[in-house]
């Protein structure tokens, strides 16, 4: 399949464009001024059900929806467009709106570490064992998901971009931080990079014997948005050989595949891509947030996990939609999230129960809603850290008052206590980070 990308400038060329109503075209134009919009011909031709596209999860996953903007923001932007405002004015309003949408959720900017006094803008190091790396050339995707919590990466808000060119700094950083066992190469989607760029980042790591890595992970949506990346692109074979090389080096390579809906696993192309990747010795783990309008039904999750296991994939995470961007549109309440997770989990065999969740990637750490129970006749949420800024917080159940409407950790109230058990220490950690005392190994390393 020859790759064809579509954005606000040329989506009029997709075969199904005549199906769009005037209102839909207007909504796409208005919303795409604030949120990024990009799709491609694999998504439009193979994934979207055009007979019912208004409610189709694959369509909603890819095309900007009117309700992704609050009414006031939508109307302000519509107003500017209608009166033919110049680009500068539109851009300025778009940035104003973006700033109100929590563009850096979970304190991402405070995860940026230093090396030899220099701030490493392409790295985030939040948990002791795991470093995130944002290669400059991987800060885009084959198509953009409308819910994406990294949406600011794809706008022109340069100050919000995390990216770094120098792979040697990455290698040096890993050598200097022996607690790091996992490197997550992320984006955007690093699999948009050509083979030369992929090699430039990965091979120096293979050639260095001074770091303590066990696993390189690559976060990607290419499996389901552009499976030809592993089949027919001109460097597909080279990519697979690189995967093989990593596997044979003794390091594990894991693709962290973002799969939001079972339909993404249904095409011949995705199944062929999975087969080829697995033949290189690479593991594929899967993750997705729980999203209104896209995948908020338990049967859909259980079907997706079962199919993943049948294809040799390992279900890994169900996330809760983050407190950023269009959370009001995609986010589900914590109450509903645990109901959907529990029901789906109960319908699959043990092999699919590798999945964890529903989990909030919040500033203090990954907090799982483990369940709802009663203490002295009062309903409570049972919470649990799956990852924490302090590893000692992990796996210690704690309680919050039950709240039907809460969608995120900061909306919860501790049960029979003033503060959650981790909050005093969390404040201290944040204070140290503000003073540029960077937490790398047990909070001891200073910038
Ligand atoms: S592929 Fe990942 S990074 Fe890219 S838009 Fe989708 S969720 Fe965001």
- Written as six digits, the tokens of 93 are 């309003």
Tell me, in angstroms, the distance from the centre of ligand 1 to residue 144's CA. 6
**pLDDT tops 60 at residue 405:** yes
The half-sphere exposure of 304 on its side-chain side, counting CA atoms within 13 A, is 30
SS (H, E, C) the chain: CCCCEECCCCHHHCCCHHHCCHHHHHHHHHHCCCCCCCEEHHHHHHHCCHHHHHHCHHHHHHCCCHHHCCHHHHHHHHHHHHCCCCHHHHHHHHHHHHHCCCCCHHHHHHHCCEECCEECCCEEEEECCEEEECEHHHCCCCCCCCCCCCHHHHCCCHHHCCCECCHHHHHHHHHHCCCCCEEEECCCCHHHCCHHHHHHHHHHHHHCCCCCCCEEEEEECHHHHCHHHHCCCCCHHHHHHHHHHHHHHCCEEEEEEECCCHHHHCCHHHHHHHHHHHHCCCEEEEEEEECCCCCCCHHHHHHHHHHHHHCCCEEEEEEECCCCCCHHHHCCCHHHHHHHHHHHHHCCCHHHCCCEEEEEECCCEEEEEEEEEEECCEEEEEEEEEEECCHHHECCCEEEECCCCCCCHHHCCECCCCCCCCHHHHHHHHHHHHCCCCCCCCCCCCC
What span, in angstroms and rounded, lies between the C-alpha atoms of 393 and 428? 14
Q: Is 321 in the pocket of ligand 1 (CB under 6 A)?
A: no
pLDDT score recorded for residue 162: 54
Mutation probe of ligand 1 site: the residue of 63, 150, 290, 324 with most atoms within 8 A of C-beta? 150
Confidence class for position 438, pLDDT limits 50, 70, 90: very low
**pLDDT tops 50 at residue 227:** yes
Q: Is 398 in the pocket of ligand 1 (CB under 6 A)?
A: no
- Written as six digits, the tokens of 1 are 């399949």
Residues 6+ apart with CB under 8 A from 34: 69, 73, 77, 94, 97, 98, 101
Give the bridge partners for 361, in sequence order: 366
- Written as six digits, the tokens of 324 are 């950023």
**pLDDT tops 80 at residue 293:** yes
Residues 6+ apart with CB under 8 A from 234: none
pLDDT (average), residues 400-420: 97
pLDDT (average), residues 325-344: 97
What span, in angstroms and rounded, lies between the C-alpha atoms of 442 and 447? 14
Tokens 């800024």 — which residue? 389
Q: Whose CA is nearest to atom 5 of ligand 1?
A: 144
Q: Is 221 in the pocket of ligand 1 (CB under 6 A)?
A: yes
Q: Tell me the pairing of strands 123-127 and 130-133.
A: antiparallel
Q: Is 189 in the pocket of ligand 1 (CB under 6 A)?
A: yes
Confidence class for position 1, pLDDT limits 50, 70, 90: confident
pLDDT score recorded for residue 445: 31
Tell me, in angstroms, the distance from the centre of ligand 1 to residue 126's CA. 20
Q: Is 262 in the pocket of ligand 1 (CB under 6 A)?
A: no
What span, in angstroms and rounded, lies between the C-alpha atoms of 303 and 344? 8
Tell me, in angstroms, the distance from the centre of ligand 1 to residue 155's CA. 13
pLDDT (average), residues 355-359: 97
- If we measure between CA atoms, which residue out of 317, 296, 306 comes closest to residue 352? 306
Please say whether the beta carbons of 333 and 411 come within 8 A. Answer: no
Tell me, in angstroms, the distance from the centre of ligand 1 to residue 188's CA. 6
Domains of the chain: 5-99 (no CATH), 105-434 (3.20.20.70)
- What b/e string do you get for 136-149 counting C-beta neighbours within 10 Å, with b at 16 or more? bbbbbbbbbbbbbb
Please say whether the beta carbons of 166 and 157 come within 8 A. Answer: no
pLDDT in tens, 134-174: 998 998 999 999 999 878 777 765 555 555 567 888 999 99
Cα 342 to its chain centre, rounded Å, is: 22
pLDDT score recorded for residue 157: 59
Mutation probe of ligand 1 site: the residue of 142, 189, 257, 317 with most atoms within 8 A of C-beta? 189
Please say whether the beta carbons of 171 and 140 come within 8 A. Answer: no
Return the CA Rg of the chain: 22
Please say whether the beta carbons of 257 and 284 come within 8 A. Answer: yes
Tell me, in angstroms, the distance from the centre of ligand 1 to residue 187's CA. 8
pLDDT (average), residues 110-137: 89
What span, in angstroms and rounded, lies between the C-alpha atoms of 407 and 417? 21
Q: Whose CA is nearest to atom 8 of ligand 1?
A: 148
CB atoms within 10 A of CB 227: 27
The model's pTM is 0.92
Cα of first residue to Cα of last residue in the chain, in angstroms, is 49
More confident residue, 436 or 323: 323
Average pLDDT, the chain: 92
**pLDDT tops 50 at residue 103:** yes
**Which of 91-105, 142-156, 291-305 is the most confident on average?**
291-305
Tell me, in angstroms, the distance from the centre of ligand 1 to residue 3's CA. 18
Lowest mean pLDDT among 156-170, 211-225, 252-266: 156-170
Lowest mean pLDDT among 127-141, 368-382, 394-408: 127-141
Mutation probe of ligand 1 site: the residue of 188, 193, 264 with most atoms within 8 A of C-beta? 188
- Written as six digits, the tokens of 278 are 């697995």
Tokens 């208004």 — which residue? 54
pLDDT (average), residues 354-369: 96
pLDDT (average), residues 99-115: 82
Tell me, in angstroms, the distance from the centre of ligand 1 to residue 150's CA. 7
pLDDT (average), residues 415-440: 82
pLDDT (average), residues 320-331: 93
What span, in angstroms and rounded, lies between the C-alpha atoms of 165 and 204? 13
């Amino acid at each position: 399949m020859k790759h064809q990308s579509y954005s606000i400038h040329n989506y009029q060329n997709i075969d199904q464009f005549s199906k769009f109503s005037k209102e839909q075209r207007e909504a796409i134009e208005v919303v795409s001024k604030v949120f990024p919009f990009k799709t491609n011909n694999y998504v439009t031709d193979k994934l979207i059900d055009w007979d019912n596209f208004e409610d189709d999860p694959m369509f909603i996953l890819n095309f900007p929806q009117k309700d992704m903007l609050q009414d006031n923001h939508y109307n302000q932007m519509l107003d500017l467009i209608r009166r033919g405002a110049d680009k500068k004015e539109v851009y300025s309003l778009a940035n104003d709106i973006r700033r109100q949408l929590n563009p850096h959720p979970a304190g991402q900017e405070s995860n940026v570490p230093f090396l030899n006094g220099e701030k490493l803008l392409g790295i985030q190091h939040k948990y002791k064992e795991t470093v995130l790396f944002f290669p400059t050339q991987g800060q885009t995707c084959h198509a953009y998901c409308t819910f994406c919590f990294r949406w600011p990466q794809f706008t022109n808000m340069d100050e919000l971009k995390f990216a770094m060119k120098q792979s040697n700094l990455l290698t040096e950083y890993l050598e200097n931080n022996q607690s790091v066992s996992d490197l997550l190469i992320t984006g955007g989607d690093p699999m948009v990079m050509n083979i030369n760029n992929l090699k430039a980042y990965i091979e120096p790591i293979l050639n260095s014997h001074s770091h303590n890595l066990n696993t390189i992970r690559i976060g990607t949506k290419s499996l389901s948005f552009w499976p030809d990346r592993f089949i027919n692109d001109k460097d597909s074979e080279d990519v697979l050989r690189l995967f093989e090389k990593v596997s044979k080096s003794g390091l594990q390579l894991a693709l962290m595949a973002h799969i939001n809906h079972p339909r993404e696993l249904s095409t011949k192309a995705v199944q062929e891509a999975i087969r080829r990747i697995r033949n290189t010795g690479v593991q594929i783990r899967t993750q997705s947030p729980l999203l209104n309008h896209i995948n908020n039904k338990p049967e859909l999750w259980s079907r997706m996990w079962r199919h993943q296991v049948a294809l040799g994939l390992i279900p890994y995470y169900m996330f809760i939609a983050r407190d950023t961007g269009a959370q009001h549109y995609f986010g589900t309440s914590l109450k509903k999230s645990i109901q959907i997770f529990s029901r789906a989990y109960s319908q699959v065999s043990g092999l699919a129960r590798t999945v964890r969740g529903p989990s909030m990637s919040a500033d203090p750490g990954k907090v799982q809603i483990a369940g709802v129970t009663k203490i002295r006749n009062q309903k409570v949420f049972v919470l649990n850290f799956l990852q924490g800024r302090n590893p000692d917080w992990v796996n210690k159940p704690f309680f919050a008052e039950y709240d039907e409407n809460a969608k995120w950790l900061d909306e919860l109230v501790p049960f029979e206590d003033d503060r959650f058990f981790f909050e005093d220490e969390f404040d201290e950690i944040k204070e140290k980070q503000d003073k540029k005392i960077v937490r790398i190994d047990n909070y001891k390393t200073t910038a």
